[in-house]
């Protein structure tokens, strides 16, 4: 009996220590993060969710405690905007789905929603059930992005001058990667922030150039990005507001350094990249890119790798686009996309009948 | 006229029975009326609506007396009465405070919608959130650039509203129209998230940079959104709602004409300055050689003295953004000052002080030394 009690006590003590260890491991404190907006979501290790808050110019790291490894199951929710609106007590035109991210461990889909009054809400989708994610009294840490105007900075009419947006957020090799847009200057900022966040703000702020056609060199903001291994080397694969697909070697992205990226493809006109993910089928890996005015594009990483030799010369033009070949999938109006597992994606798609559905792609798209 | 209690005239009762029995009758009747009254009061209160709690013109919660709950077993839920699916319970916090129940939804209740409060499946009450009043309608205060003439490669347009607006709507509600009446499709970049300031009163719109940048596919296929020597109009629709759901007071438009492409960086060294006299609080006036972009003007300038101390004061700009005036807080002392210009400052075509918007590397291989500030010295006598 005493032995059993001792074992229980030891177990509880061990559990408590483990929790404290996990929290201290990432420098988390228990509290309520002051999230003013959710522009972008991504997952780090052990169910840690990174939230890009454009309105505050802050990245939050939050422990979702959702770290039990689970086999991914296909999700399909029709009219998801109506369902979410009903749960929030409003109508679909009063909500916007800002981003979706799949927890790579639990395979749960997380979804950032903003109501028309600006209130951000975080949902998670387990099977067919939509739940609100608690953001009160949770373990979290935060980091204010550098070069963001102070919150009290006002223009001569007393209007807050900060106009910036976090266009995408990612996690690779222990670093949180953040691409930003500024409403005040036409520029590209890309930050690589070590995690756990440190007081030193040891982060790289990079200005990125891309050479289109080898003739004009311009600056432009990154809209969305991913990281990938091409020919044994790690690259940042970024898509710009003017739709070229550009590669940057990860090892060159160092604090204060100007890196010239290489345009490998142009994806056509009047279009905005929305999300990029990397998926695999057998020995082939593919870059999948959702677009505002085009179908989902599929690019073989092997084509990008083969193209690398000619990157220094101007891009040969074809009728529709330039650069590496890509395939258009018969999937249009995809508003958000993320990777569910190695070979499947979840897509938030506006169907031709106007419905907004969340569904899972099968391997046949690869 | 005879007064009847339970159908008997009072006079007759008094005459026929002793006073004690009369008192008994009256007491009974009064008790009956009071009970009826109480019962009907309870019915009236049950049919009443919950109190809506307001904060900054938002309906943030409702509360109702706890005694409305009858069996206290069924879960209390609030549901929106909408056209599609009103079987769903809203997310929110239910709290018992003193003798009342408060429900705080995850997002404020929506103006113009109706809601129902249930205990289990029993309807307790319903309530509606009133629409906003027309006097609260938002207005468009300014469009930048305010200039009548802009370069054909204009990149940014700023819309300044009187109150916080709903995000994600500009693609449908802002149009660029050529003077011949044609709408320029795909003129603005459909950027999600849009570039709003923190309180959602100022939106930055970009004319599609892929169409402006020379040699990119969008530029080659569709051409630049603006052509030189043409008249255009930006129209902002009155269908735009603020965060409270109020429609813009009216539609707005701003006309301008275009001149040729501006591919050159602003050169602060070419600006003219009117320097104030010592011992005065006169303005330092700076005249730019071209209109500058609205976005960074307020942050781009600082003045320091010979010791590097910051001179306190405020900046004013004319509406065309071609001139600035610095109004010092204290009198000028004689000496040398530096006007520091942030090199991120851009002109209307997003050429900044350090580099042009796009650079032809086959023609001009000179790359200026990247610096954070350009300093312009001036003497106060």
Say which of A149, A186, A244 has its CB closest to residue B155: A186
Instruction: Centre a 10 Å sphere on the Cβ of residue B283 and count the other Cβ atoms it contains.
Output: 16
The rounded distance, in Å, linking the Cα atoms of A309 and A288 is 22
> Residue A12 has what pLDDT?
47
Min distance B209 CA to chain A CA atoms (Å): 6
Stretch A172-177: mean pLDDT, rounded? 91
pLDDT in tens, A271-305: 778 899 999 998 899 999 998 888 999 999 888 88
Report strand pairing: A259-266 vs A208-212: parallel
Partner B contacted by A315 (CB < 8 A): no
The rounded distance, in Å, linking the Cα atoms of A331 and A362 is 13
Partner A contacted by B314 (CB < 8 A): yes
Partner A contacted by B210 (CB < 8 A): yes
pLDDT in tens, B184-225: 988 898 887 889 988 899 999 999 887 777 767 777 777 788
The per-residue b/e assignment along B8-17, b for 16 or more CB within 10 angstroms, e otherwise, is eeeeebeeee
Min distance B31 CA to chain A CA atoms (Å): 45
* Residues counted in chain A: 366
> Residue B106 has what pLDDT?
95
Q: Give residues 47 to 106 of A whose Cβ lies within 8 Å of B.
A: 54-56, 79, 82-83, 85-91, 94, 96, 98
Q: Do A216 and B361 count as a contact with CB atoms less than 8 A apart? A: yes
Residue A159: pLDDT band (50, 70, 90) is very low
Contacts of residue B194 in chain A, CB cutoff 8 Å? 165
Examine the pLDDT at A77 and tell me if it is beyond 80. Answer: yes
Partner B contacted by A156 (CB < 8 A): yes
Say which of A86, A117, A215 has its CB closest to residue B362: A215
Q: Do A116 and B241 count as a contact with CB atoms less than 8 A apart? A: yes
Mutate to test the interface with B, among A94, A183, A213, A239 (most CBs of B within 10 A): A183
Examine the pLDDT at A85 and tell me if it is beyond 90. Answer: yes
* Neighbouring residues of B202: CB distance < 8 A, sequence distance ≥ 6: A159, A163, A183, B158, B159, B160, B161, B196
Min distance A219 CA to chain B CA atoms (Å): 7
Residue B370: pLDDT band (50, 70, 90) is confident
Partner B contacted by A125 (CB < 8 A): no
Give the residue from chain B lying closest to A152, CA to CA.
B198
Q: Do A220 and B109 count as a contact with CB atoms less than 8 A apart? A: no
Which region, left, alpha or beta, applies to residue B38 given φ > 0 means left and ψ of -120 to 50 means alpha? Answer: alpha
> Residue B11 has what pLDDT?
53
B268-380 fold:
Immunoglobulin-like (2.60.40)
Min distance B350 CA to chain A CA atoms (Å): 6
Partner B contacted by A118 (CB < 8 A): yes
pLDDT in tens, A214-252: 566 666 778 899 999 888 889 999 888 777 788 888 888
The rounded distance, in Å, linking the Cα atoms of A235 and A237 is 6
Examine the pLDDT at A322 and tell me if it is beyond 60. Answer: no
Give the residue from chain B lying closest to A292, CA to CA.
B190
Choose the weakest-confidence range: A65-79, A168-182, A207-221, A326-340.
A207-221
Examine the pLDDT at A11 and tell me if it is beyond 60. Answer: no
Mutate to test the interface with B, among A90, A178, A184, A275 (most CBs of B within 10 A): A184
Partner A contacted by B202 (CB < 8 A): yes
Stretch A318-338: mean pLDDT, rounded? 77
pLDDT in tens, A55-72: 888 999 999 999 999 899
The CATH number given to B135-259 is 2.60.40.1220
Contacts of residue B218 in chain A, CB cutoff 8 Å? 242-243, 268-271
> Residue B10 has what pLDDT?
46
Say which of B105, B164, B244 has its CB closest to residue A89: B105
Q: Do A89 and B110 count as a contact with CB atoms less than 8 A apart? A: yes
| The B301-304 sheet, strands edge to edge | B301-304, B335-342, B373-380
For A265-331, give the secondary structure using H, E and C: EECCCCCCEEEEEEEEECCEEEEEEEECCCCCEEEEHHHHHHHHHHCCCCCCECCCCEECCCEECCC
> Residue A185 has what pLDDT?
76
Residue B41: pLDDT band (50, 70, 90) is very low
> Residue B93 has what pLDDT?
93
> Residue B22 has what pLDDT?
47
Structural tokens at position A96: 């916007």
Stretch A340-347: mean pLDDT, rounded? 94
Stretch B122-141: mean pLDDT, rounded? 92
- Give me chain B's average pLDDT, please: 85
Across the strands, what pairs with A193? Answer: A176
Examine the pLDDT at A211 and tell me if it is beyond 70. Answer: no
Partner A contacted by B313 (CB < 8 A): no
Min distance B306 CA to chain A CA atoms (Å): 26
> Residue A227 has what pLDDT?
92
> Residue B35 has what pLDDT?
46
Mutate to test the interface with B, among A89, A224, A245 (most CBs of B within 10 A): A89
DSSP annotation of B207: B
Residue B368: pLDDT band (50, 70, 90) is low
Examine the pLDDT at A157 and tell me if it is beyond 50. Answer: no
Min distance A272 CA to chain B CA atoms (Å): 7
> Residue A31 has what pLDDT?
95
> Residue A204 has what pLDDT?
56
Asked if B318 contacts A207 with a C-beta cutoff of 8 angstroms, the reply is no
Examine the pLDDT at B32 and tell me if it is beyond 90. Answer: no
Stretch B64-81: mean pLDDT, rounded? 85
Report the complex ipTM: 0.82
Examine the pLDDT at A258 and tell me if it is beyond 50. Answer: yes
Q: Give residues 234 to 263 of B whose Cβ lies within 8 Å of A.
A: 241, 243-245
> Residue A1 has what pLDDT?
47
Q: Give residues 266 to 305 of B whose Cβ lies within 8 Å of A.
A: 293, 295-296, 298-299
Q: Per-domain residue ranges for chain B? A: 4-47, 51-128, 135-259, 268-380
Partner A contacted by B328 (CB < 8 A): no
Residue B74: pLDDT band (50, 70, 90) is confident
Examine the pLDDT at A266 and tell me if it is beyond 80. Answer: no
> Residue B366 has what pLDDT?
54
- Give me chain A's average pLDDT, please: 81
Residue A162: pLDDT band (50, 70, 90) is low
Examine the pLDDT at A80 and tell me if it is beyond 60. Answer: yes
Partner A contacted by B195 (CB < 8 A): yes
Give the residue from chain B lying closest to A120, CA to CA.
B107
Q: Do A211 and B361 count as a contact with CB atoms less than 8 A apart? A: yes
Residue A6: pLDDT band (50, 70, 90) is low
Contacts of residue A144 in chain B, CB cutoff 8 Å? none
Residue B367: pLDDT band (50, 70, 90) is low
Min distance A104 CA to chain B CA atoms (Å): 24
Stretch B124-131: mean pLDDT, rounded? 93
């Amino acid at each position: 009996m005493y032995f059993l009690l001792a074992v229980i006590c030891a177990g509880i003590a061990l559990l408590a220590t483990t929790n404290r260890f996990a929290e201290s491991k990432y420098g988390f404190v228990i509290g309520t993060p002051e999230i003013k907006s959710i522009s972008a979501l991504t997952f780090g290790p052990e169910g840690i969710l990174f939230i890009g808050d454009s309105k505050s110019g802050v990245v939050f790291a939050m422990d979702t405690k959702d770290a039990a490894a689970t086999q991914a199951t296909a999700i399909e929710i029709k009219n998801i905007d109506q369902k979410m609106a009903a749960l929030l007590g409003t109508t679909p035109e009063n909500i916007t789905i800002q981003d979706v991210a799949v927890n790579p461990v639990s395979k749960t889909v997380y979804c950032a929603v903003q109501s028309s009054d600006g209130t951000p809400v975080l949902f998670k989708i387990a099977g067919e059930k939509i739940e609100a994610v608690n953001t009160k009294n949770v373990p979290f840490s935060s980091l204010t992005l550098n070069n963001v105007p102070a919150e009290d900075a006002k223009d001569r009419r007393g209007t807050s001058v900060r106009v910036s947006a976090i266009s995408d957020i990612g996690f690779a090799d222990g670093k949180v990667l953040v691409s930003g847009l500024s409403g005040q200057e036409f520029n590209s900022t890309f930050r690589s922030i070590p995690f756990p966040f440190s007081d030193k703000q040891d982060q790289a702020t990079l200005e990125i150039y891309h050479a289109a056609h080898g003739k004009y060199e311009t600056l432009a903001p990154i809209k969305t990005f991913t990281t990938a291994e091409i020919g044994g080397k790690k690259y940042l694969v970024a898509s710009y507001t003017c739709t070229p697909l550009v590669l940057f070697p990860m090892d060159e992205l160092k604090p204060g350094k100007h890196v010239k990226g290489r345009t490998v493809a142009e994806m056509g006109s009047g279009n905005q990249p929305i999300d990029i993910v990397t998926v695999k089928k057998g020995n082939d890996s593919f870059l999948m890119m959702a677009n505002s005015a085009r179908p989902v594009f599929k690019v073989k990483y092997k084509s990008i790798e083969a193209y690398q030799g000619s990157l220094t010369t101007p891009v040969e033009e074809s009728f529709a686009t330039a650069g590496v070949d890509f395939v258009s999938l018969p999937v249009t109006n995809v508003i958000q996309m993320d990777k569910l597992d190695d070979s499947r994606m979840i897509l938030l798609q506006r169907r031709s009948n106007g419905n907004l559905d969340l569904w899972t792609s099968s391997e046949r798209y690869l | 006229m005879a007064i009847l209690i339970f159908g008997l005239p009072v006079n007759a009762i008094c005459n026929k029975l002793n006073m004690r029995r009369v008192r008994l009758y009256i007491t009974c009747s009064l008790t009956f009326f009071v009970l009826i009254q109480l019962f009907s009061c309870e019915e009236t209160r049950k049919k009443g609506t919950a109190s809506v709690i307001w904060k900054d013109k938002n309906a943030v919660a409702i509360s109702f007396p706890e005694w409305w709950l009858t069996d206290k077993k069924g879960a209390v839920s609030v549901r929106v009465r909408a056209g599609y699916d009103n079987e769903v319970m809203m997310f929110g916090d239910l709290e018992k405070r003193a003798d009342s129940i408060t429900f705080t939804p995850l997002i404020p209740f929506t103006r113009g919608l109706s809601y129902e409060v249930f205990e289990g499946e029993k309807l307790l009450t319903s309530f509606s959130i009133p629409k906003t009043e027309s006097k609260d309608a938002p207005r468009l205060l300014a469009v930048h650039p305010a200039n009548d003439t802009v370069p054909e490669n204009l990149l940014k347009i700023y819309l300044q509203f009187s109150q916080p607006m709903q995000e994600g709507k500009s693609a449908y509600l802002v149009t660029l129209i050529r003077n011949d009446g044609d709408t320029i499709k795909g003129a603005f970049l459909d950027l999600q998230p849009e570039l709003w300031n923190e309180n959602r009163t100022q939106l930055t719109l970009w004319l599609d940079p892929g169409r402006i940048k020379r040699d990119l596919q969008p530029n080659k296929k569709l051409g630049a959104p603006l052509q030189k020597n043409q008249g255009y109009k930006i129209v902002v629709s009155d269908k735009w709602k603020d965060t409270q759901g109020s429609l813009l007071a009216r539609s707005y438009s701003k006309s301008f004409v275009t001149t040729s492409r501006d591919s050159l960086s602003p050169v602060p060294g070419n600006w003219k300055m009117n320097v104030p006299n010592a011992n005065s609080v006169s303005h330092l006036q700076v005249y730019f050689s071209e209109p500058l972009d609205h976005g960074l003007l307020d942050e781009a300038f600082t003045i320091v003295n010979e010791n590097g101390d910051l001179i306190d004061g405020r900046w004013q700009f004319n509406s065309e953004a071609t001139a600035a005036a610095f109004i010092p807080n204290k009198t000028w002392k004689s000496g040398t000052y530096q006007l520091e210009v942030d090199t991120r400052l851009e002109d209307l075509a997003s050429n900044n002080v350090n580099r042009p918007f796009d650079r032809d590397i086959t023609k001009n291989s000179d790359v200026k030394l990247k610096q954070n500030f350009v300093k312009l010295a001036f003497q106060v006598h």
